[in-house]
Amino acid sequence: MSATTRAALGVAALVAANVAAGRLITGPLRDLPAEHRLNHDLRARGGDRTTTLANALSRSSDTSRAIALTGLLLTRGRGRAAAVPGLAMALASATHVISSALVGRERPALERLGTHQPTSSFPSGHVGAMTALAVVLGRLAEPLPRPARVVARAALVAYLGALGWSRLYNGQHYASDVLAGYVNGVACGRMARAALTEDAPERIA
């Protein structure tokens, strides 16, 4: 089986899992009322500075910025490995677009801050794409000395956590949307690495 076929099957499996989880949430679980309260509670506890921070974090995951970062990574790679960042984000984006269209979950009933997205709420596409990219960046840290590698990877995890919080605070997503985005991103980052570096002499470096 070719790497392309495996990646396509992987996305199909992710979409199926997302749709099953999304339909469960919006159906038998009645859209998880506790998640609605969480969004409102986060906003109620925030102030102007918190809103500014949340907006900055959320904007950091906008497509144009992610593409710019991916382009920077491409200039550092070699051969097929150079395409891993772009493929990781493409797989995550495809998973999000197809899944959200099939699930159709409404966005939180809260004033939405930042950019309004045309897709539905579940799963989070921004979190998924940035998590996929973070998986690749975490791999890039492998040659670093252990202390630097640990710090770099901890910073990536901290950023992803803060990004997820910002999406909740801004009324863009519910907690389960963000959690699904993390899962999708990790899976897509790993699939991209496997698809483009398996049996290849080049490494991302």
Query: Is the whole model's pTM more than 0.75, yes or no?
Result: yes
123 upstream amide cis, omega within 30 of 0: yes
Confidence class of residue 203 from pLDDT cuts 50, 70 and 90?
very low
pLDDT, tens digit, 9 for 90 and up, residues 109-135: 888 887 778 889 999 999 999 999 999
In this prediction, residue 200 carries a pLDDT of 45
Confidence class of residue 91 from pLDDT cuts 50, 70 and 90?
very high
Q: What angle do CA 102, 27, 100 make, to 5 degrees?
A: 20
Query: Does the structure show a pLDDT above 50 at 141?
Result: yes
In this prediction, residue 202 carries a pLDDT of 41
Look at the chain and count its residues.
Answer: 205
In this prediction, residue 62 carries a pLDDT of 78
Please give the residue that has the higher pLDDT: either 82 or 130. 130
* Residue bearing tokens 């202390």: 147
In this prediction, residue 76 carries a pLDDT of 56
Residue pair 54/166 in contact by the 8 Å Cβ criterion? yes
Alpha helices in 27-145 (DSSP H): 33-45, 48-59, 63-76, 84-103, 125-140
